[in-house]
């Protein structure tokens, strides 16, 4: 089968024997080189931004590729030095020193391992997107401001406010070399993707290369990457941090949580870029924990999955985790064999790359989406909190506001007074009691009032408030009827059996229950209408409640005409509701109803059913014709008992069912032996009507062309169950599960 998404890769995992050699050579090997070229400048830039030794970024890039890539639950995700932790790690280096920061990274990795083993990884899907995007935007702004100081020739601080304070002084300095190299790098990062077929070479590589070449040709005086003759000699082993225990624990938890959230969210995002196996988030968290524990032990930066590297991996055509593992190997080989090449790179060029990466974390599209969903205030609060107070503090502020807004939405109810009818919708809890009581007390005394409750939850405080008002209103000569539409919360509370959980969403009972189930609570029909006529009551109910909900949909159907997919032939029995048993709505079913769900033969005198069949097949182009019988069918009972009076219209009509009687008595098709005789005949009758349909030329032609199918159905009224009819044996079969 062809890939329906040609721009997406299929991530076929071969965890035991590995991928076929052709896949490895054709897809994973080229992709690994592309990621390798991106990871070198990103890893060095992050190391510079945090104040860690440059080799720490390389160590983490290698471990993120080889170790995390081999264990990852998201095979196409590429891990390396964590962009989202730049500000945090910079602060830790300034406070504790680099060896202690490495120890904190090791401990954070062990904490991630423990979290992964508890299965907590899947909770990443429950985080508020507004908080997540706000956190990323805050991190991006912090990175961009700090690296702007570096481009201007200064040294970035771990504090955003301090970096902002330094900017005016740096703008007045004369570090021309850094400004030139950084500006060229930023320009190339922005312009390179606009060049046709430029995706063959990663923008960060071209940008750093351009900044390096220009600085060398112009002999600019600026700071560059410095590595010793033996890069591995720069590896610093971890040491126990000195300081308050609480501060160290907070640092460990912060690094673990931020790295975990960044990795898990990146894994979820990468899943949307390909059609292969979905990420196993708990396994991914374990892999990240193992990677950070090893990185900390070897003096590396904290590791996380990154969307920049990962999306490039998918776009480059990677099929398995081997592209990630190989890219880590190429980084190690390059640094050991060609470390001198890295010393030509200006620090301002690496800073320029990070400025663009940071700015891109502030997504305008996400802002628009959050504005539409009224979540922008959570986003802004998180961004400001991260920028001005710190990442952990900003996330806590964002989560607090998100929770308060969720609490308001979940407990908010609307109260609308329309004459003597009060309509309450939503969840009724103590927070909304004051407003409800104020509205109720405005109703003039001595009226006949209907309190209409469309609520999915009602707590004790709300019940008490409603009941106290009701009793007081009736003592003063009024009358109150509580009309519960969605559920019976008030009635159950009144009986001392209050509900405990919110009502699950579902269809309103009045949309399918008999009139007698609810019409007694309707009190507001105009006097000139007869309240004893249930149809008039039902029409009024439709106009008042259902019509506003379905009007836009029906207007669309009226504009484009009917395009049903099924012709549905069923009995006129009032207990059979086609749209209910097929979970369909207006425009879905083209229905024909008659006594006994009969399809007279093509040669019969009846023209009504035949006209409907021809119109459905030839004009509407339905894809299936369904014949639906049911239990306790009066027509089938009349056939069995011969109770239809001779000369009556019913007797004449039921002659069309005589072939069904013959079929029923055939020994080759005994049918369902456990059913009553009339119900067995009903099943055989459905099978016979399917045969009768084949006598219509338009039906035969459509079936031969493969555009039409015939389906037999049987509805057991008392059990509310639908079956398929097997016409070969007059038997019933369960409805199969739909294919996913």
B/e letters for 216-234, b = 16+ CB within 10 Å, e = fewer, are eeeebebbbbebeeebeeb
Quick one: average pLDDT of 405-416? 80
Between CA 96 and CA 459 the distance in angstroms is 52
Q: 7: which 2 tokens?
A: 């721009």
Between CA 78 and CA 43 the distance in angstroms is 13
pLDDT above 90 (res 172)? no
pLDDT above 70 covers what percent of the chain? 86
Q: In 3-state terms, what secondary structure has residue 463?
A: helix
Cα–Cα–Cα angle for 546, 549, 551, rounded to 5 degrees = 95
Quick one: average pLDDT of 112-128? 78
Hey, what CATH topology would domain 562-734 get?
A: Beta-carbonic Anhydrase; Chain A (3.40.1050)
Answer for the pair 655, 598: CB distance below 8 angstroms, yes or no.
no
Cα–Cα–Cα angle for 285, 291, 292, rounded to 5 degrees = 90
Quick one: average pLDDT of 159-165? 83
Of 257, 331, 262, the residue nearest 300 (C-alpha): 331
pLDDT above 60 (res 556)? yes
pLDDT in tens, 69-110: 999 998 899 999 987 788 889 889 999 999 999 999 999 999
Q: What is the pTM for the complete model shown?
A: 0.56
Q: Given this model, what pLDDT does residue 18 score?
A: 56
Between CA 154 and CA 159 the distance in angstroms is 14
Between CA 712 and CA 735 the distance in angstroms is 11
Q: Number of C-alpha atoms within 13 angstroms, CB side, residue 302?
A: 36
Count of helices and strands (H, E) across the chain: 31, 12
Q: Given this model, what pLDDT does residue 7 score?
A: 40
For residues 625 and 509, the model is more confident at: 625
Between CA 689 and CA 663 the distance in angstroms is 11
Between CA 510 and CA 492 the distance in angstroms is 19
Answer for the pair 326, 29: CB distance below 8 angstroms, yes or no.
yes
Q: Given this model, what pLDDT does residue 503 score?
A: 66
Sign of CA dihedral 193, 195, 198, 202: negative
pLDDT in tens, 323-338: 999 999 988 888 777 7
DSSP letters for 147-183: HHHHHTTS---S-HHHHHHHHHHHHTS--HHHHHHHH
Q: Tell me the C-alpha to C-alpha distance, in Å, between residue 602 and each of 29, 642, 697.
A: 67, 25, 9
CB atoms within 10 A of CB 114: 14
Answer for the pair 473, 449: CB distance below 8 angstroms, yes or no.
yes
Q: Given this model, what pLDDT does residue 11 score?
A: 41
Q: Where are the domains of the chain?
A: 21-362, 412-506, 507-560, 562-734
Q: 275: which 2 tokens?
A: 């059609």
pLDDT above 90 (res 657)? yes
Q: pLDDT averaged over the chain? A: 83
Residues with Cβ within 8 Å of 265's Cβ and at least 6 positions away in sequence, in order, are 124, 127, 132
Between CA 84 and CA 361 the distance in angstroms is 10
Quick one: average pLDDT of 140-148? 85
Q: In 3-state terms, what secondary structure has residue 32?
A: helix
CB atoms within 10 A of CB 381: 20
Q: Which of 316-320, 661-665, 734-738 has the lowest mean pLDDT?
A: 316-320
pLDDT in tens, 450-460: 898 888 888 88
Residue 296 confidence class, pLDDT cut points 50, 70, 90? very high
Between CA 204 and CA 191 the distance in angstroms is 11
Q: Given this model, what pLDDT does residue 408 score?
A: 80
Quick one: average pLDDT of 534-543? 76
Q: Given this model, what pLDDT does residue 37 score?
A: 67
Superfamily of chain region 412-506: STAS domain (3.30.750.24)
Of 37, 685, 687, 709, the residue nearest 331 (C-alpha): 37
pLDDT above 90 covers what percent of the chain? 34
């Amino acid at each position: 089968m062809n890939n329906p998404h040609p721009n997406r890769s299929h991530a076929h995992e071969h965890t035991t024997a590995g991928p076929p050699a052709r896949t490895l050579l054709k897809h994973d090997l080229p992709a690994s080189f592309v990621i390798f070229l991106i990871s070198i400048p990103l890893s060095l830039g992050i190391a510079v931004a945090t104040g860690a030794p440059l080799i720490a970024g390389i160590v983490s890039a290698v471990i993120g590729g080889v170790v995390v890539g081999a264990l990852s639950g998201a095979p196409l995700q590429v891990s390396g030095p964590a962009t989202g932790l730049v500000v945090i790690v910079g602060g830790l280096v300034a406070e504790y020193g680099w060896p202690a920061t490495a120890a904190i990274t090791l401990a954070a990795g062990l904490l991630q391992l423990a979290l992964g083993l508890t299965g907590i990884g899947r909770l990443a899907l429950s985080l508020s997107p507004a908080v997540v995007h706000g956190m990323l935007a805050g991190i991006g702004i912090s990175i961009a401001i700090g690296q702007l100081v570096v481009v201007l020739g200064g040294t970035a601080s771990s504090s955003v406010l301090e970096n902002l304070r330094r900017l005016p002084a740096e703008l007045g300095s004369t570090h021309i070399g850094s400004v030139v190299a950084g500006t060229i790098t930023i320009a190339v990062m922005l312009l390179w993707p606009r060049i046709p077929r430029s995706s063959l070479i990663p923008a960060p590589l071209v940008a750093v290369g351009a900044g390096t070449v220009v600085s060398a040709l112009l002999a600019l005086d600026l700071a560059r990457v410095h590595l010793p003759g033996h890069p591995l000699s720069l590896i610093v082993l971890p040491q126990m941090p000195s300081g308050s225990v609480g501060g160290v624990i907070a640092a460990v938890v912060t690094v673990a949580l931020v790295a975990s959230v960044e990795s898990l969210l990146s894994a979820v995002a990468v899943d949307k870029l390909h059609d292969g196996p979905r990420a196993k988030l708990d396994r991914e968290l374990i892999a990240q924990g193992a990677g950070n524990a090893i990185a900390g032990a070897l003096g590396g930066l904290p590791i996380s999955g990154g969307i920049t590297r990962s999306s490039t991996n998918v776009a480059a055509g990677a099929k398995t985790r081997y592209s990630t593992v190989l890219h880590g190997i190429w980084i190690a080989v390059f640094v050991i064999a060609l470390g001198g090449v890295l010393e030509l790179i200006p620090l301002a060029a690496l800073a320029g790359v990070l400025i663009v990466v940071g700015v891109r974390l502030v997504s305008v599209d996400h802002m628009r989406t959050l504005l539409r969903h009224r979540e922008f205030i959570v986003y802004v609060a998180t961004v400001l909190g991260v920028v001005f107070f710190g990442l952990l503090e900003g996330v806590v502020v964002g989560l607090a506001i998100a929770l308060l807004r969720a609490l308001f939405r979940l407990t908010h109810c609307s109260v609308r007074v329309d004459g003597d009818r009060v309509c309450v919708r939503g969840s009724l809890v103590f927070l909304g009691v004051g407003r409800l009581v104020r509205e109720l007390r405005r109703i003039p005394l001595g009226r006949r009032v209907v309190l209409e409750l469309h609520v999915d939850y009602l707590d004790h405080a709300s019940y008490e408030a409603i009941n106290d008002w009701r009793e007081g209103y009736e003592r003063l000569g009024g009358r109150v009827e509580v009309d519960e539409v969605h559920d019976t919360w008030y009635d159950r509370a009144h009986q001392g059996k209050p509900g405990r959980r919110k009502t699950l969403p579902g269809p309103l009972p009045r949309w399918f229950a008999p009139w007698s189930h609810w019409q007694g609570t309707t009190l507001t029909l105009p006097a000139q209408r007869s309240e004893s006529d249930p149809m008039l009551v039902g029409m009024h109910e439709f106009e008042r409640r259902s019509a506003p909900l379905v009007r836009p949909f029906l207007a669309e159907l009226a504009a484009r005409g009917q395009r049903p997919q099924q012709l549905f032939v069923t009995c006129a029995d009032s207990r059979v509701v086609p749209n209910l048993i097929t979970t369909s709505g207006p425009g879905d079913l083209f229905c024909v109803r008659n006594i006994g769900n009969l399809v007279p033969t093509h040669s019969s005198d009846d023209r009504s059913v035949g006209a409907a069949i021809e119109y459905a097949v030839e004009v509407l182009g339905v894809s299936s014709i369904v014949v639906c019988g049911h239990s306790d069918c009066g027509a089938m009972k009349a056939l069995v008992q011969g109770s239809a009076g001779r000369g009556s219209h019913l007797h004449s009509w039921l002659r069309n069912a005589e072939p069904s009687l013959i079929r029923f008595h055939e020994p080759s098709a005994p049918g369902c032996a456990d059913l009553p005789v009339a119900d067995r005949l009903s099943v055989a009758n459905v099978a016979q009507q399917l045969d009768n349909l084949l006598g219509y030329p338009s039906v035969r032609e459509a079936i031969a062309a493969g555009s039409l199918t015939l389906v037999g159905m049987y509805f057991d009224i008392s059990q509310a169950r639908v079956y398929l009819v097997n016409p070969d044996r007059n038997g019933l079969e369960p409805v199969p599960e739909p294919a996913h």
